[in-house]
Structure 1
């Protein structure tokens, strides 16, 4: 008993400094990767996930129906994530796919023995098969960052998490060696959740990897100065997630790098990544949108496909695009997206000249190529906008609008950095 107590004391006091190398790269795989789906099916699935995530981000009503709501599980308004990263856990290391989530903090996976678990593509993590697994005591800084000290059992740290999409997890907070990287291996001790009672939908993954600002997120525990992704325009091509400084991330990119300071998000969203939006340009005209429309900022959300704008801003954008591109409303709808007919029946949607669209943020003028805001469906005779309206108070910047852009979360300087980039060689 004294030996166990001593081990837990050492673990609680240990705060090893992690020196993460600059060349760590992880592959991001789209959740629809490898599926034989048509463009229409892919867009419908993406729109469904985006609209579901939007509802979660702007409302906590879903929390009330979660089976663990009576236990006051902390609510995380994320879910329906779009990309998966593979991390190896334990000694010897075993690979597990995790949902890449900038909207939550803790990293967790399902573990044996599991009394209640979701289907997943890999075998459940078995702590008894790893020589480096250790439960964490309540005094450990990762446990304290959870703010759930009342969940301690015999000085073992427990966690309970509920997400807006009805997914939940309950288990032990533990320490384990994680292995990262494709070009070179890097190992680090990480505090993570080992869930033995879980429910919901992991979307063909084995857990969630939180990348928020909170100290128990994966990126915070690594002590990374920043992380960056470059999303491809083909879901059957893998995107890249990198760690490093702005100088390292943008070293070989020739396009100008623009930056915008992160701002404080609305109440309950302070740990997420918001920047200040200032306006929209269509063609050569800056739209007349009251500044107050953007007061609550824009959430940079890599976990959703489609961007959203408050209704006032969206309606102004739609009106300007219809006029500039000479489009007319269509009675054909693609999963509730706004779709339109070309100026003439003899013109295919993909042949319609697209308007220049610029999203203005403090310090960033994001010029959207056609494919970043329009879906062309020549077989249906319509084109649809990949931006939606929201009744919520803040905008979101989804990954469709970030295609072929190097997007960096500069944690050291608390800012977002963006530059056009070819995310894979065609």
Structure 2
């Protein structure tokens, strides 16, 4: 079996509506286990949270491997195993929604009424009937063709189905409506009409009540960044993620903004085009431990996926053992926490990293 490396990486308040900003915009991300999260569980210790994150990351990594090995045409991201929640609004009369920000998925989907079978979620389920701008996409429409595994419904509507490696699934209709965000730069609501998303009527499995669905930030044609990148100037987005125990502020997700501009110590690496196009493949050439360079046994081209929903880093077993030996040799050195701002540029096909103070971003 092929092995691949995986690298890591509700309050709704409306103000004056504005059109899409060509200069980009910024929104807050909240770690689902932080005290700022509306779903904060005070009974969980830091050890509990770390253990859960590790198991979630293992499940997610295994699901990526299945998809890559089998060249499957299914999205197999583990549902609701991501760590960061993002708030957005749906519809003409904007209704607040909350979903997991996921660079490993393309299609954004949320639960919709009337449900055939919906899992329990802690915020109201979206009702398309209250939005004048909501409309279903016909199965022959080009927008339908952008969605993987599309099909025709009983009345000619475009349908989608997403199967997950955890035996979970979501099924429903592909629709368009206005998706809006609270721009944290100026407090104004910025809106994107005619956004393709999935309206899930039959959602079963291990979905968690902390989110209404998945917000797709992958590289495929149906993702939000692919749909609207040109409208905010660049098909570019970035994030600087705080761990769950930071209470001084929120992580940031920025669209169309040159976050690495005029910054010292920026490192940029090219993306590698591989199947499926959803994932962001990079080439990890070596790992440096106390000045010792540890390299993989095989070609490093496209050997890693950078993924917002995976907390820990995974290495191929043979490479991991060499890294482990080098770490044990250097175990006496003091370790420090380093945060990075990560910027994806889909037009230039690059990913950039820079040391950053997320609280000042």
1:319-373 residue CA offsets vs partner (Å, 9 max, x unmatched): 01111225xxxxxxxxxxxxxxxxxxxxxxxxx624xxxxxxxxxxxxxxx335x
Q: Residue 136 of structure 2 corresponds to which residue in structure 1? A: 135
Can you give the 5+ residue segments of structure 1 that lack an aligned partner in the other structure? Answer: 1-17, 64-72, 327-351, 355-369, 373-403
Q: Residue 353 of structure 1 corresponds to which residue in structure 2? A: 334
Instruction: Flag the 1:104–1:289 CA change in 2: closer, same or farther, 3 A.
Output: closer
Q: Residue 371 of structure 1 corresponds to which residue in structure 2? A: 337
Q: Residue 197 of structure 1 corresponds to which residue in structure 2? A: 202
Displacement of 1:38 in angstroms is: 2.1
Displacement of 1:21 in angstroms is: 3.0
Q: Residue 77 of structure 2 corresponds to which residue in structure 1? A: 78
Q: Residue 310 of structure 1 corresponds to which residue in structure 2? A: 316
Q: Residue 171 of structure 1 corresponds to which residue in structure 2? A: 172
Q: Residue 48 of structure 2 corresponds to which residue in structure 1? A: 41
User: How far apart are the structure 2 equivalents of 1:259 and 1:181?
Assistant: 29
**Is the contact made by 1:142 and 1:215 (CA closer than 8 Å) also made in structure 2?**
no
User: How far apart are the structure 1 equivalents of 2:355 and 2:192?
Assistant: 32
Can you give the 5+ residue segments of structure 2 that lack an aligned partner in the other structure? Answer: 1-18, 36-40
Helix, strand or coil at the partner of 1:154: coil
1:400-422 residue CA offsets vs partner (Å, 9 max, x unmatched): xxxx2110111111110111110
**Is the contact made by 1:263 and 1:276 (CA closer than 8 Å) also made in structure 2?**
yes
TM-score, structure 2 as length reference? 0.82
1:90-118 residue CA offsets vs partner (Å, 9 max, x unmatched): 11101100111111111111111101001
Alignment of 1:119 onto 2:120: yes
Q: Give the greater-gyration-radius structure (CA).
A: 1
**Is the contact made by 1:409 and 1:416 (CA closer than 8 Å) also made in structure 2?**
yes
1:217-267 residue CA offsets vs partner (Å, 9 max, x unmatched): 11111125211000113444421000114xx2224x6332211110023x4
User: How far apart are the structure 2 equivalents of 1:295 and 1:147?
Assistant: 26
Alignment of 1:272 onto 2:272: no
User: How far apart are the structure 2 equivalents of 1:142 and 1:294?
Assistant: 36
Alignment of 1:243 onto 2:255: yes
**Is the contact made by 1:293 and 1:312 (CA closer than 8 Å) also made in structure 2?**
no
Helix, strand or coil at the partner of 2:358: coil
Alignment of 1:422 onto 2:352: no
TM-score, structure 1 as length reference? 0.70
User: How far apart are the structure 1 equivalents of 2:150 and 2:33?
Assistant: 38
Displacement of 1:155 in angstroms is: 2.4
Instruction: Flag the 1:106–1:288 CA change in 2: closer, same or farther, 3 A.
Output: closer
Displacement of 1:173 in angstroms is: 0.9
User: How far apart are the structure 1 equivalents of 2:222 and 2:121?
Assistant: 24
User: How far apart are the structure 1 equivalents of 2:59 and 2:282?
Assistant: 22
Q: Residue 346 of structure 1 corresponds to which residue in structure 2? A: none
Displacement of 1:147 in angstroms is: 4.5
Displacement of 1:151 in angstroms is: 2.7
Q: Compare relative contact order (CA 8 Å, sep 6+) and give the higher one, 1 or 2.
A: 2
Instruction: Flag the 1:191–1:81 CA change in 2: closer, same or farther, 3 A.
Output: same
**Is the contact made by 1:110 and 1:124 (CA closer than 8 Å) also made in structure 2?**
yes
Structure with the higher helix share, 1 or 2: 1
- Paired residue total: 322
Alignment of 1:30 onto 2:28: no
Alignment of 1:206 onto 2:212: yes
**Is the contact made by 2:134 and 2:177 (CA closer than 8 Å) also made in structure 1?**
yes
Q: Residue 267 of structure 2 corresponds to which residue in structure 1? A: 258
User: How far apart are the structure 1 equivalents of 2:148 and 2:341?
Assistant: 34
User: How far apart are the structure 2 equivalents of 1:243 and 1:314?
Assistant: 34
Q: Residue 323 of structure 1 corresponds to which residue in structure 2? A: 329
Q: Residue 215 of structure 1 corresponds to which residue in structure 2? A: 221
1:293-330 residue CA offsets vs partner (Å, 9 max, x unmatched): 6355110011110011111211111101111225xxxx
Choose the corresponding residue for 1:188, options 180, 192, 195: 192
Displacement of 1:289 in angstroms is: 4.2
**Is the contact made by 1:78 and 1:165 (CA closer than 8 Å) also made in structure 2?**
no
Root-mean-square deviation (Å): 2.4
Q: Residue 397 of structure 1 corresponds to which residue in structure 2? A: none
Helix, strand or coil at the partner of 2:252: strand
